[in-house]
Amino acid sequence: MTETASRPTLEAVAARAGVSRATVSRVVNGGDGVREPLVARVRRAVEELGYVPNQAARSLVTKRHDAVAVVIAEPETRVFADPFFALQLRGISKELTAHDCQLVLLLTEGRDDHARVGRYLAGGHVDGALVFSLHLDDPLPGLIRGAGVPTVFGGRPGWGDGTRDAAPAVYVDCDNRGGARAAVRHLVGLGRTRVAHLTGPLDQTSAVDRLDGFRDVMVDADPRLVVQGDFTPAGGERAMRELLERCPDVDAVFAANDLSASGALRVLREQGRRVPEDVALIGFDDMLPVAEQTDPPLTTVRQDIEEMGRLMARLLLSGLDRRGEAAGPAGTPAGVVLPTTLVRRASA
Amino acid sequence: MTETASRPTLEAVAARAGVSRATVSRVVNGGDGVREPLVARVRRAVEELGYVPNQAARSLVTKRHDAVAVVIAEPETRVFADPFFALQLRGISKELTAHDCQLVLLLTEGRDDHARVGRYLAGGHVDGALVFSLHLDDPLPGLIRGAGVPTVFGGRPGWGDGTRDAAPAVYVDCDNRGGARAAVRHLVGLGRTRVAHLTGPLDQTSAVDRLDGFRDVMVDADPRLVVQGDFTPAGGERAMRELLERCPDVDAVFAANDLSASGALRVLREQGRRVPEDVALIGFDDMLPVAEQTDPPLTTVRQDIEEMGRLMARLLLSGLDRRGEAAGPAGTPAGVVLPTTLVRRASA
């Protein structure tokens, strides 16, 4: 696209307005420190010549901003409280930095702000988006489709049945269901018979998949042995208290993640239940240092969270690189599912 | 600026290219799912008409993106490990959200990436920037001036002597020096005579100001009683170990922040020094839950970190609102310094 040479330059604007290049640049970038008559003169020249400032012109031609947005569909308070996100961002940051690509984290107070996130994504500020922690009824996936930016999801999106989206979403996930099965099988192998599950928030596919894995093994489980949590330590405490009231004879617990397991552990100790002697406990994530610093340290299902972040970024960047090619993004796999491993420590 | 009506529309591009509005929109937003001959045809029409996509056109006219960048001049690993940043971001996020303004956090791996941050800021993606944790030899302030975006700094910038910058920088800070004086006076008031200071990183003005406050009170202090730390728990441990080797007779410690105080506390316990009986200890920040959960809980100098973030955002937004007015940003105060208060707990 060599036609860019015909695009009006900063110099042309400066000449038309009868001011210096520096003055044009200051006005275009906000007008600070330039007297009002000059500002008006420069703006008139900008309008008359149809001048487009550098970045917009460049991005119009190259379609590249060298920036990728990260959207975490949680309030900023949770983004900073849950080390899961910090780890995923670490992987993303390393990969983007290696490609001299700016990580643009869009923070929100809550779901009400997702329309604004959609506007920013649609506004031509980034080349693509990495989106995670989606909830089933979240408007974000629709807004992202509307924004038309290439996107890779962290965790399998919930609309993967083909009814809401023609093209399959590209995502990176871990084997939540298989990992859960391994955890529950381990508890059964210890001879435990009253095995419970503290779930994550069931509007997220990762929590649903882990519950499915639990049910794969505990086919005829007493429904009272499944209590809903929310992936937070406080949620784990609440769920564990409820579980002990419902089923005082519980002898094993699979918590949907390590943070909720750490909450459950506090309640078990408070109520005088020894872990693992009275109640065996397994978490999910192998979130360090949490999983190692609990007393006793947590047996858990390991997923490589940082690597998942890195892989999300890599998939997005390679998709962007391929966009000019005839093949298009057809070669991109719809979902990449990483394996999990059971890590044995003292709690089960 | 009513001349915007003459700017070529999406419809005009669609008519010229002989395609639908939706196709133009898809091409302009990246070209996904549009066949190559159509992409080329649309791009030609875009070039010929000098069409500027919505956001760029809008921002050229209104100069507003309804987005503010936050830049923390630390590697992303520290951004997520130090609760100071989470608190400041909470205040910023609340204020920006109340103005339906998107918080755009620009993360980096380190100082080598600051040129890229400067490019993003200059690229017309945000209305302004909130910048904190500057270090003295950081190229970021210069890059930000070059980018020409309105900026409010968190913490007094180090070049405030007027030699590097014509216009005074707008910043929000707490009374670091006064707070440090209050802490050290409290230790002296307890009858302590060998009062030490574990500093922060001395390429940051907050650390320098707290050291100055210490020296205001301990005018003739033994220089061995001042040991450099870095605002992290590990830095506090290292500095405390060094201090105990140099001055085993130390009977009071003012640590430059609560995180380094928590590290110092671990070393004091490990070496059998009772706090506060043998060594009185004071931190800075009143960072919760850290300051309350140490054993003993920390006496500390409180600053309202979340409020500082909120105030930074408010100053930036009000400056942006005033930019059209004749008065300009002249009414903006150069620096806002918030008071600190001594919070007494058990450690001193």
pLDDT in tens, B80-122: 988 999 999 999 999 999 999 999 999 998 888 999 999 999 8
What is the structure's pLDDT at A195?
Answer: 98
Residue B194 banded pLDDT, cuts 50, 70, 90:
very high
Residue B325 banded pLDDT, cuts 50, 70, 90:
very low
Contact between A323 and B55 using a beta-carbon 8 Å cutoff = no
* Percent of chain B residues past pLDDT 70, beyond the cut: 86
Query: Under CATH, domain A2-62 is a member of which superfamily?
Result: lambda repressor-like DNA-binding domains (1.10.260.40)
Q: Which sign does the torsion angle of CA A57, B128, A12, B6 carry?
A: positive
Q: What is the mean pLDDT of chain B?
A: 87
Is residue B311 predicted with pLDDT exceeding 90? Answer: yes
Distance CA A258, CA A57 (A): 48
Q: Answer yes or no: CATH 3.40.47.10 is held by domain B67-174+307-340.
A: no
And the tokens for B264? 């110092």
Contacts with A, B 250-289, CB within 8 Å: none
Distance CA B151, CA B312 (A): 9
Residue A102 banded pLDDT, cuts 50, 70, 90:
very high
Of A30, A36, A148, the CB nearest to B30: A148
Residue A4 banded pLDDT, cuts 50, 70, 90:
very low
Query: Under CATH, domain B176-302 is a member of which superfamily?
Result: Response regulator (3.40.50.2300)
Nearest to A100 by CA among A63, A64, A149, A62: A64
Residue B31 banded pLDDT, cuts 50, 70, 90:
low
Residue A213 banded pLDDT, cuts 50, 70, 90:
very high
Q: What is the mean pLDDT of chain A?
A: 87
And the tokens for A193? 């018979």
B-chain residue closest to A50, CA distance: B50
Distance CA A176, CA A340 (A): 8
Interface with B, mutate which of A48, A72, A87, A107 (most B CBs under 10 A): A107
Check CB contact of A147 with chain B, cutoff 8 Å.
yes
HSE, CB side, 13 Å, CA atoms: give it for residue B287. 23
What is the structure's pLDDT at B333?
Answer: 57
Is residue B330 predicted with pLDDT exceeding 60? Answer: no
Amino acid symbol at B132: F
What is the structure's pLDDT at B213?
Answer: 98
Residue B320 banded pLDDT, cuts 50, 70, 90:
confident
HSE, CB side, 13 Å, CA atoms: give it for residue B78. 19
- Reduce the DSSP state of residue A337 to 3 states and report it: strand
- Block residue for tokens 């020096």: B177
- Reduce the DSSP state of residue B180 to 3 states and report it: helix
**Least confident interval from A98-102, A107-111, B27-31:** B27-31
The ipTM, to two decimals, is: 0.76
**Least confident interval from A257-266, B24-33, B173-182:** B24-33
Pick the CATH number of A67-174+307-338 from 1.10.287.1080, 3.40.50.2300, 3.60.40.10, 3.30.70.360: 3.40.50.2300
Where along chain A do its domains lie? 2-62, 67-174+307-338, 176-302
Which strands make up the sheet holding A226-228, listed edge to edge?
Answer: A226-228, A195-199, A252-255, A280-282
Is residue A138 predicted with pLDDT exceeding 50? Answer: yes
Report pLDDT digits (tens) over B266-286. Answer: 999 999 999 999 999 999 999
Residue A326 banded pLDDT, cuts 50, 70, 90:
very low
What is the structure's pLDDT at B12?
Answer: 85
DSSP codes of every residue in B8-59: PPHHHHHHHHTS-HHHHHHHHTT-TT--HHHHHHHHHHHHHHT---HHHHHH
**Least confident interval from A141-150, B38-47, B134-143:** B38-47
B-chain residue closest to A82, CA distance: B80
Is residue A128 predicted with pLDDT exceeding 80? Answer: yes
Do A67-174+307-338 and A176-302 come out as alike in CATH topology? yes
**Average pLDDT estimate for B162-181:** 80
CB-CB contact of B296 with B269 (8 Å): no
Check CB contact of B125 with chain A, cutoff 8 Å.
yes
Report pLDDT digits (tens) over B129-152. Answer: 999 988 888 888 888 888 889 999
Is residue B16 predicted with pLDDT exceeding 50? Answer: yes
